[in-house]
């Protein structure tokens, strides 16, 4: 069975402090005191908006052009790490996100961009990514290094705390890559907000995408 390793991320703890007056005040409350704070967004995934995770990057897309995360400012970006020879987790991610986006109204679906960053750039050249990634959804974009080396993609993985380890090849030369399976949701402003664990349903992902899409800039 293909083994996945989920990266260990340290998330900030939210401290909720509530106060209650011991006696009712005789004075009428001011209008300002009656205004309650807007409730924090709730996600099915883990809110990592307060953690130093993510950042802009530039890689080569499956059509051979340089693509940066910042190119999609104004859209919600789904960031997936994987590789085309992955037997289970990667195709499951892509299929489930395709199903999630299909649950959105057309105008919201058009405001979501999935980026698939290869953890196996030596094999995942643009031509192969072009046959693989858009097969799940024509809007999905596969990304790899320009020269097939690992330095560019590893730099992106480091930004997001993702990991990958190439396994010893089989006699026929085939090898697998164990990699972390979390995916990331990035808001319209380019900030990494949610980490989604493997196994989320399409409906859960769709609801988290809607929450981000409905947030004010």
Return d(Cα 207, Cα 217) in angstroms, integer.
18
Is 86 marked as binding a ligand? Answer: yes
Of 194, 201, 167, give the one whose Cα is nearest residue 4: 167
Pick from 196, 177, 184, 182: which is nearest to 119 by CA?
A: 177
Tokens of 210: 């809607």
DSSP, collapsed to helix, strand or coil, labels residue 32 as: helix
Q: What is the DSSP letter of 3?
A: -
Establish whether 90 is an annotated binding residue. yes
Rounded to an integer, what distance in angstroms lies between the CA atom of residue 180 and that of residue 2? Answer: 12
What tokens were used for 68?
A: 């940066």
The dihedrals phi and psi of 194, each to the nearest 5 degrees, come to -130, 140
Q: Give me the sign of the Cα torsion angle 138, 113, 183, 67.
A: positive
Distance (Å, whole) CA 209 – CA 195: 12
Q: What is the rounded distance in angstroms from the CA atom of residue 140 to the CA atom of residue 79?
A: 10
Positions at the binding site for Cu cation: 86, 90, 179
Positions at the binding site: 86, 90, 179
């Amino acid at each position: 069975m293909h083994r996945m390793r989920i990266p260990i991320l340290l998330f900030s703890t939210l401290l909720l402090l509530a106060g209650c007056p011991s006696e009712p005040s005789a004075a009428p409350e001011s209008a300002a005191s009656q205004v309650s704070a807007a409730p924090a967004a709730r996600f099915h995934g883990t809110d990592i908006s307060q953690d130093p995770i993510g950042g802009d990057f530039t890689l080569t897309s499956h059509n051979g052009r340089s693509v940066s995360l910042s190119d999609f400012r104004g859209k919600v970006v789904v960031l997936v790490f994987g590789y085309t020879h992955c037997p289970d987790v990667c195709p499951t991610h892509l299929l489930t996100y395709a199903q999630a986006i299909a649950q959105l109204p057309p105008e919201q679906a058009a405001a979501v961009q999935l980026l698939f960053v290869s953890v196996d750039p030596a094999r995942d050249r643009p031509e192969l990514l072009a046959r693989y990634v858009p097969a799940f959804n024509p809007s999905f974009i596969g990304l790899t290094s320009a020269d097939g080396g690992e330095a560019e993609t590893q730099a992106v993985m480091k930004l997001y705390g993702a990991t990958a380890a190439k396994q010893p090849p089989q006699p026929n030369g085939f090898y697998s890559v164990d990699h972390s399976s979390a995916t990331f949701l990035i808001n319209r402003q380019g900030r990494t907000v949610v980490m989604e664990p493997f196994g989320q349903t399409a409906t859960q992902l769709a609801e988290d995408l809607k929450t981000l899409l409905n947030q004010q800039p």
